[in-house]
């Protein structure tokens, strides 16, 4: 990945920070859109762009238009989670989950493709789905619908872009070992949660030039979770 330009949405979050570190260690130049202010003490080689609402069409378009030439990959970690059953989920909560998870991925994919088409040689898109999209279960209806949409988006784009050398894949993590998840599930056998570093390594390979033909895959990254 030495010298390759990569976007990582959600790069200031718990999983996103680890993904950013993996790409920087591999030599990539990383661009991270953030909704609020740019974080202080960021990594060298990382360009944080503040004020980017990933559910705002014009904001996402402006962010990608402002990237330097030669974009190679766009990785979409940004999202959100809500635990609620069907009758406890309002329409506003459903729309919020769709916006955070699916709308953000759709807009980033669309604008990334526009930039990738400006250079020869194709590129890579990697989305972050969830185990809930591959193994739907009750209790998180809106989240499951949103992440299932991310899976469908990934597979549809893989087919649409197959002739352009733009490979599109996704990872589907289980419960990630983060401070927030440990606090939310103190009895949840944290030792079985998926280390974010393991998820980042799969994302890095899918986005790398070493992945020459794999497209349309949704890779389960469950560990023992």
Looking at the annotation, which residues are catalytic? 143
Measured in whole angstroms, how far is the alpha carbon of residue 152 from the centre of its chain?
14
CB 53 within 8 A of CB 29: no
Of 169, 47, 54, 152, which Cα lies nearest the Cα of 111? Answer: 54
Q: Tell me how far apart the alpha carbons of residues 82 and 88 are, in angstroms, rounded to a whole number.
A: 11
Measured in whole angstroms, how far is the alpha carbon of residue 111 from the centre of its chain?
14
Tell me 10's DSSP state. Answer: T
Q: How far is CA 95 from each of CA 75, 103, 141, rounded to the nearest angstrom?
A: 23, 10, 12
CB 193 within 8 A of CB 213: no
Give the CA dihedral 52, 55, 57, 62, nearest 10 degrees: 20
Tell me 211's DSSP state. Answer: -
The torsion angles phi and psi of 39, rounded to 5 degrees, stand at -65, 150
What count of other Cβ atoms lies within 10 Å of the Cβ of residue 93? Answer: 15
């Amino acid at each position: 990945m030495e010298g390759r330009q990569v976007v990582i949405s959600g790069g200031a979050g718990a999983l996103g920070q680890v993904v950013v570190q993996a790409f920087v260690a591999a030599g990539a130049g990383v661009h991270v859109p953030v909704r609020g202010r740019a974080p202080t003490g960021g990594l060298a080689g990382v360009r944080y762009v503040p004020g980017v609402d990933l559910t705002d069409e014009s904001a996402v378009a402006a962010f990608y238009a402002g990237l330097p030439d030669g974009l190679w990959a766009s990785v979409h970690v940004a999202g959100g989670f809500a635990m609620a059953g069907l009758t406890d989920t309002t329409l506003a909560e459903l729309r919020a989950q769709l916006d955070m998870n699916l709308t953000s991925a759709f807009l980033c994919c669309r604008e990334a493709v526009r930039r990738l088409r400006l250079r020869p040689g194709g590129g890579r898109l990697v989305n972050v789905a969830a185990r809930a999209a591959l193994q739907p279960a009750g209790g998180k209806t809106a989240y499951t619908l949103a992440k299932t949409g991310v899976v469908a988006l990934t597979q549809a784009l893989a087919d649409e872009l197959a002739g352009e050398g733009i490979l599109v894949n996704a990872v589907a993590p289980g419960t990630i070992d983060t401070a927030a998840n440990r606090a939310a599930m103190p009895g949840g056998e944290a030792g079985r949660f998926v280390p974010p570093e393991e998820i980042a390594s799969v994302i890095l390979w899918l986005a790398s030039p070493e992945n020459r033909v794999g497209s349309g895959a949704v890779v389960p990254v469950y560990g023992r979770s």
